[in-house]
Structure 1
Amino acid sequence: MRKLILILLVTIITQGCGIYSFTGIGDINANSFQVNFFQNNAPIIEPGIDRRFTLALQDLIQNQTNLELTNTNGDLVYEGEISNYTIAPMTATAQQTAAQNRLTITINVRFFNKNKEEDDFEKSFSFYHDYGATQQLTGSVLETALDDIFERITQDIFNESLAKW
């Protein structure tokens, strides 16, 4: 009798939880995903960020799901473009010069779920990185800025498309 109660209790607990993972993904009803190349259409062109962003989004989805990356006919399709890349002064010194600059990148994303079309969306995602006005936006300063911005934007895209946060 105790065995039967234990089996029933375990069954109720596991069935009540549904399908859920530590990344917050529920049942997405998909086996594969495709990330099309995100072309840089921003007024200011920084070479290579289009490829870098595309790979960053692919890597994030691969690392946080068990979906298979494919080049064509993915159940989930991500596409879009880098629509803005701006550098603007943020704070001023007493001498009326910039003390800090801000790099902001905006990416327009179109998401298609072939198995659940009501999840489709088109949305812009944007984030920024501040750096000192005496620094040039090259080398390690640029690398750090892009890492911070792309980490946040890719996670926001993931949350919007798969985690539904």
Structure 2
Amino acid sequence: MKMNRLLNPFLGLVLLCTAMLQSCYTFTGSSLSPETKTVQINEFINNAPLVNPTLAQQFSTDIQNRFLQRTTLKGTKENPDLLIEGEITDYSISPTTISSNVDAVGGNIQAAQNKLTISVRVHYENKIEPDKSFDRTFTDEAVFSSDLDINAIEASQVKLVNERIINRIFNDIVANW
């Protein structure tokens, strides 16, 4: 009998907390309205001064996969609840650390490390909750050894930077962090 008296208030408190948490934040990690069902993600255009020929297509494919695989949203081309589109505005590689090698002929100055920077401008429309729509630029970078050739940079560093930018876009839209 005493156990029931202790259990009932505790059980009530647990149920109340669960209901409050669920109303604020779903357990899937999404803060999107339950009425939000469809998403359209247009191909991102590469308008960077230095053009990586595969960057726009890879970025577009990766962001589409992220939304379609990690949410319950369905892709559509007509009257979407969410519209995501944009452009790549910067793709650059610049030296960050300089080293000098002195040999018999003289000095040789070269980059010891380089930095890859990618910026993506995103236009996001939320037709269900228009106040959550935005136009924002996302930028990230990776520092790497100057010994890497262009193929290694494309294979590892571009993928890393794209992943970071897509994570931030996804979190800003889906998790609303």
* Shorter-chain TM-score tier: 0.7 to 0.9
Unaligned residue ranges in structure 2 (runs of 5+):
102-108
Deviation at 1:135, TM superposition (A): 2.0
TM-score, normalised via structure 2 length: 0.82
Judging changes above 3 Å, is the alpha-carbon distance between structure 1 residues 16 and 157 closer, same or farther for their aligned structure 2 residues? same
Alignment-derived partner of residue 123 in structure 1 = 136
Structure 1 residues 79 and 128, CA gap change in structure 2 (3 angstroms) = same
CA RMSD of aligned residues (A): 2.2
Equivalent of 1:25 in 23, 30, 33: 30
Q: Deviations over 1:31-73 (max 9, x none)?
A: 0111101000111111121111011111111222111122232
Aligned pair partner of 1:14 in 12, 18, 25: 18
| Cα shift at 1:133 | 1.3
Q: Indicate the larger mover: 37-46 or 19-28.
A: 19-28
Counterpart position of 1:36: 42
* Equivalenced residues, count: 164
Taking only the aligned residue pairs, the percentage that are identical comes to 32
Larger radius of gyration: 2
Among 56, 71, 76, which residue is 1:65 paired with? 71
Provide the TM-score with structure 1 as the length reference: 0.88
State how far apart, in whole Å, the 2-side matches of 1:72 and 1:103 are. Answer: 36
Task: Trace 1:3-152 onto structure 2 (pairs within 5 A).
Answer: 5=8, 8-9=12-13, 11-19=15-23, 20-21=25-26, 24-28=29-33, 29-95=35-101, 96-138=109-151, 140-152=152-164
